[in-house]
Amino acid sequence: MKECYLGVDIGSISTKGAIIDDDNNIVASAYIWTEGNPVKAVRNLMRILKEQLPDSYILKGIGTTGSARKLIGLMLKANIVKNEITAHAVGTLTFYPDVRTILEIGGQDSKIILLKNGIITNYAMNTLCAAGTGSFLSSQAKRLGLDVNEFGTYALKSKNPVKIAARCTVFAESDLVHKAQVGYPKEDIVAGLCKSIVLNYLNNVGKGKKIEAPIIFQGGVSKNAGVVKYFKEVLGEEIIVDENSHLMGAIGIAVMARRHKTGHTYSLEMNNIKFDTKAMECTRCSNNCELLKIYRNNELVDSWGSKCGKY
């Protein structure tokens, strides 16, 4: 039996899973929508991965990362739980050891990671506003009557992208509607949106950061050819987009699961696992803490939210 390792990246918009072997080959992978329910999404993810994984492999490690990493880590009994900055860096360095800058734009947040000699030297995240993220693009595509996958194609047709104020989703939508109403070509509006995303990212997330090549662009938005084009144009550098750029966080945490394996064997079967969360308010003192209790097969495995540490 060949050993393999699972990495799960649970984001607010999408949930990603990647199973790698000892040579970092991806033997199974999936990218699905979280839809506001990370537990249900991971159950679906496990089912998809189980169907893909050959019978000749045995699962020897599980790692979780992303915004719901702690919750899903408890659910899967993961042997390692790490933040997405570390996971993306490890995954990228596994395939691109000389990388200096990682640009990442996801569904509701974006980040920049600077590295030198394989070590993270600086990073920044934008989690306050969804402007310039995947969800922003999706909403604007819907407003324009386009599938978000068509954005890149439309943007590349444009010779004169219009200026769109993308620092705020409200202003961007107002600007977009105005440009459409006065008759600007759709491809110029789409190109303007793609360019505004790049400028917003560099002026916000990348502000004060020294962006050096080699540069890698990751996250779901990296599949948008228009955004890639304007990153190249504005930075004046080649931008690397790996075919698995949307899975790099999951790949990175899978690599870490292999490095920290305990000898335990895991399963992708979720049907026999009952996983519940229950919310309550503690009224024993004036803090009135909002508590979240986590149960696995009716057994309390953890509780969060207690300020005094009683729970």
Backbone angles phi, psi at 67, to 5 degrees: -65, -30
Contact indicator for 124, 209 with CB cutoff of 8 Å: yes
Check residue 112 and give its pLDDT.
95
Backbone angles phi, psi at 199, to 5 degrees: -65, -40
Residue-by-residue DSSP string for 93-153: HHH-TT--EEEEE-SS-EEEEEEETTEEEEEEEE-S--TTSHHHHHHHHHHTT--GGGHHH
- H runs (alpha helix) in the chain: 38-52, 69-76, 84-95, 134-143, 151-157, 169-181, 186-204, 225-235, 248-259
Alpha-carbon dihedral 292, 296, 299, 301, rounded to 10 degrees: -50
Check residue 127 and give its pLDDT.
59
Check residue 131 and give its pLDDT.
59
Q: What is the pLDDT along the chain (311 residues), one digit of tens a residue?
A: 899 999 999 988 889 999 999 999 999 999 999 988 999 999 999 999 999 999 999 999 999 999 899 999 999 999 999 999 999 999 999 999 999 999 998 877 889 999 999 999 999 988 556 656 777 777 777 777 777 777 778 888 888 888 877 666 667 777 777 877 788 888 888 888 888 888 888 888 888 899 999 999 998 888 888 899 999 999 999 999 999 999 999 999 999 999 999 989 999 998 888 888 888 888 888 788 888 888 888 888 888 888 877 66
Check residue 128 and give its pLDDT.
58
* Residue 243 neighbours by CB under 8 Å, 6+ apart: none
Give this prediction's pTM. Answer: 0.88
Check residue 129 and give its pLDDT.
62
Q: What domains can be seen in the chain, in order of their start residue?
A: 2-90+250-259 (3.30.420.40), 97-241 (3.30.420.40), 275-304 (no CATH)
Check residue 189 and give its pLDDT.
85
Check residue 135 and give its pLDDT.
74
